[in-house]
Amino acid sequence: MNVKPVLLLVVAAAVTVAAAVRYAPQARRGTPGDLPELIELVPADSTLVAYADLAALRGSPLVQRLAAITPAANVDRDYADFVRATGFDYQKDLDAVVVASHGGTTLALAMGRFDQDKIEQYALRSAKPDDENGHAVYRVPSATPGRSIALAFLDKEHMAISDGGDLSSVLSASRPQLDPVMRERLSRVAGTPLFAVAKTPGVANTPAAGRHPAPASTTLLQSLRWVSFAARPDGSEIYLSAEGECDTSSQAESVAAGIELLRGVLGSAMADPKAGGKMSAAQSSAVHQLLSAARVTTDATRVRLLLTLTPEMLGVADRSPDASAPVSR
């Protein structure tokens, strides 16, 4: 096979998180501020942590309406073979996923309904397991030379996958706790089925000798130290929130001004018939509503972008599966 079984699961997790960003979420089970159990397993030095409660997303009526009008995606042949061999389908059997970045590698932690025996038999086609702290770890070569991908079951319902080939941060009996600064920021957005927090790399604002100065937009983004995202539903609407943290209040105000400028530029571009000519009237209206609805605020060193999504913006207001069905009386 060209695509290894662990690669399939990594891709499935990444695709699922990407799809969750597009689709509207429903409130996560649990109390706001509580961290999902999967996050407790991420490495202590993680610089990015993203979480999706897929079971909640699948149960959302708005997600179901979106799924009903979304064209079916082409299924990779190797993934189809994996589904036939193991009975696992991430669209139905994956309940929650966490993706964490640390030390130049990416770790995916998945919770769902797995047939461990079938998946391990499938993995044996490409790799022999190593024992690590009582867990069988399967490692296969990565597409990146010199790297490998590791897969291990934590128990019947939990799996860990790393594109760096190292799962010691998860399997170690003396695993260190998550960085308190990252934990505190995650606690602000926990309580929703979809959220993410990232620590931005420290990039010098002064260009290297012989190089052209960075664009103004890039310079503004370089002042961000932390970025967080959360989505929360309220009836038929979805509240989206993105927050960036800067070192100073003046930097936060500059970032906010840059976002407002960008919104103005996009609005002007949409007003040009040549720019909007390829869009339908409904699509053009949705874009205008998105630009108008976005609110940018600052609070000390933080800049926030708030947006309320409506069914009209998502294009599902009049296209629910039951919209054309006759009404029984």
Looking at residue 15, its pLDDT comes to: 41
Q: Is residue 183 part of a domain?
A: no
**Helix extents (H) in 32-105:** 54-58, 61-69, 77-86, 90-93
Q: For residue 292, is it within any domain?
A: yes
Contact 3, 293 (CB under 8 A): no
Clarify whether residues 14 and 132 are in a common domain. Answer: yes
Q: Are residues 216 and 84 in the same domain?
A: no
Domain boundary among 171, 191, 211: 171
Residues 241 and 288 in one domain: yes
Number of domains the chain contains: 2
> Residue 240 falls within a domain, yes or no?
yes
DSSP state of 24: P
- Same structural domain for residues 91 and 49? yes
Does any domain span residue 182? no
From its phi and psi, is residue 318 left (phi > 0), alpha (psi between -120 and 50) or beta? alpha
What are the tokens at 230?
């959360």
Phi-psi region of 235 (alpha: psi -120 to 50; beta: other; left: phi over 0): left
Spatial separation of the C-alpha atoms in residues 112 and 99, rounded to whole Å: 15
CA proximity to 7, closest of 122, 100, 155: 122
Quote the distance between the C-alpha of residue 183 and its chain's center. Answer: 17
Structure tokens at 4: 């290894």
Q: How many CB atoms lie within 10 A of CB 275?
A: 13
Distance separating alpha carbons of residues 192 and 126, to the nearest angstrom: 38
Statement to judge: residues 29 and 165 lie in one domain: yes
305 phi/psi in degrees, rounded to 5: -115, 115
Domain boundaries, position 22 = 5-171
In 3-state terms, what secondary structure has residue 32?
coil
195 is a domain residue: no
Q: Are residues 153 and 226 in the same domain?
A: no
**23 and 157 share one domain:** yes
Chain Cα centroid distance, residue 119: 25
- One domain for residues 226 and 81: no
93 and 237 within one domain? no
**Claim to verify: residue 163 and residue 224 sit in the same structural domain:** no
pTM of the model as a whole: 0.75
Query: Would you give the distance in Å from CA 217 to the centre of its chain?
Result: 24
Alpha-carbon torsion (248, 185, 162, 60), positive or negative: negative
255 and 124 in a common domain: no
Domain co-membership, 98 together with 146:
yes
Q: What is the pLDDT of residue 92?
A: 84
Q: What single-letter amino acid sits at 208?
A: A
| Residue 320 counted as domain residue | no
The per-residue b/e assignment along 190-225, b for 16 or more CB within 10 angstroms, e otherwise, is: bbbbbbbbbbbeeeeeeeeeeeeebeeeeebbbbbe
Element (H, E) at 121: helix 116-123
Ramachandran category for residue 210: left, alpha or beta (phi over 0 → left; psi -120 to 50 → alpha) = left
Is position 191 within any domain? no
Question: What letter does residue 165 receive in the DSSP assignment?
Answer: S
What does each of the 329 residues of the chain score in pLDDT, given as a tens digit? 333 444 344 444 444 444 433 333 333 333 445 789 899 999 999 999 999 998 887 777 766 766 676 766 666 676 677 788 888 887 788 999 999 998 888 999 999 999 899 888 888 887 889 998 889 998 877 667 777 788 899 999 999 988 877 888 888 878 788 899 999 999 999 988 889 999 987 543 434 444 444 444 455 668 899 999 998 776 677 788 999 999 999 999 999 998 888 888 888 877 766 665 567 777 777 788 888 888 999 999 999 999 988 877 777 655 444 444 443 33
Tell me whether residue 179 is in a domain.
Answer: no
Tokens standing for 13?
């997790």
**CA–CA gap between residue 250 and residue 169 (Å, rounded):** 39
